[in-house]
Homo-oligomer: A and B are copies of this chain.
Amino acid sequence: MTKLRDVAKLAKVSTATVSRVLSNAGNVTEKTRRKVLAAMEDLNYQPNFLGRQLRKMETKTILVVVPDIANTFFSKVLRGIESVANKNGYQVLMGDSQNKSENESEYLNHLRYKQVDGVILLTARTTPHLVEELSDSYPIVLACEYLEGSNIPTVSIDNISSARKITSHLIKLGHHRIAHIAGPKNVILGRDRLKGFEQALAQNNLEIDQILIQEGDFTYESGYRLMKKLLALQNPPTAVFAANDEMAIGAIKAIKHCQLSVPEDIAVVGFDDIQMASIFEPELTTVAQPTFEIGSTAMALLLSLMKKEKLNMKQFVLEEQMIVRESCGAKSNVIDSS
């Protein structure tokens, strides 16, 4: 490994001068600059980042912690993050927490150890306490999920109101007995979407039947399993709101396996608008989050944080959009009523 000092020696200048050439800092004659560049070329010199990072105490790298890389929803958020990061000279690294809070905390240590300059959490299952504590000293942004009653910079949509809207949509279509395949109770998204679901029922004076609320874990399998359970009820639901698209697809699959059809026998709606939502049959009615924008906003926020800028706004709630497709039966309804 040739190092800066070797370049300096060959070019017959000091290490300081080489460093100045390296960082384009100015105050270097064109003549010396050429001499140094030639020496670098000669020795095929590559600066060692560890040295630079140690001195500058920065890595120009940020870490994104994802709960589950297999979930394509997050990949779009990542694209948003990367687009802003790269424009600003930052590298993006990903860590997959695999839905385990231990892994999440593990990744957060990268901050303590100065391995990355900042972190965007697409999941906040770690003890809120830890995130709060770290957030005091290091740049952290939460995206998609958030921490209740916390002041940590956050970018997300209003999950409660979106869930309320899509549930109301089912109610408007004439359903009274609506089930909810919920997300995990320990995840804020799960709790919020449940809350929105319950609010919609309450607003329409519908009773909340606890047996119709089943807690899944955002996977296809749990959607399938819980739907089977709901179908086995004496009085099964006529509509189901699943807390994400994967579970919704699982639910539809379960319904089909019972020789029933969607939306004719049971209407199903999901949440997230993953790619499969528009490919699967029936096409899924769901809530589309502005994924790319969530990512880019989060990264912009993180940049401000890293620059220690004064923030006049730390929490962003972006607009979501309900996308009506086939699985809720609205379209066939429209045709019927026309």
Partner of A50, one of B46, B50, B275: B50
Q: How many copies does the complex hold?
A: 2
Within the assembled complex, what's the spacing in Å between the Cα atoms of A48 and B53?
11
Nearest chain B CB to A143 CB, angstrom units: 16
Within the assembled complex, what's the spacing in Å between the Cα atoms of A46 and B249?
45
Check: A28 CB closer than 8 A to any chain B CB.
no
Task: Please encode chain A, from 67 to 94, with 1 for each CB lying within 8 Å of some chain B CB and 0 for all others.
Answer: 0011010011011001000000001111
Partner of A279, one of B75, B114, B220: B220
Do residues A51 and B49 form an inter-chain contact, with CB atoms below 8 A?
A: no
Closest to A137 in B: B1
Interfacial chain B residues near A79, Cβ < 8 Å:
98
Chain A's interface size range is 35 or more
Partner of A78, one of B54, B69, B75, B220: B69
Check: A96 CB closer than 8 A to any chain B CB.
yes
Within the assembled complex, what's the spacing in Å between the Cα atoms of A322 and B117?
45
Partner of A220, one of B94, B113, B275: B275
Within the assembled complex, what's the spacing in Å between the Cα atoms of A70 and B79?
10
Nearest chain B CB to A247 CB, angstrom units: 12
Check: A115 CB closer than 8 A to any chain B CB.
yes
Within the assembled complex, what's the spacing in Å between the Cα atoms of A249 and B276?
10
Closest to A116 in B: B93
Check: A314 CB closer than 8 A to any chain B CB.
no
Check: A95 CB closer than 8 A to any chain B CB.
yes
Do residues B115 and A96 form an inter-chain contact, with CB atoms below 8 A?
A: no
Check: A253 CB closer than 8 A to any chain B CB.
yes
A selection of 16 A-B contacts at a CB cut-off of 8 Å is A48-B113, A49-B115, A50-B54, A50-B57, A50-B113, A61-B115, A69-B69, A72-B72, A79-B98, A92-B96, A93-B93, A93-B94, A93-B95, A94-B96, A220-B275, A279-B280
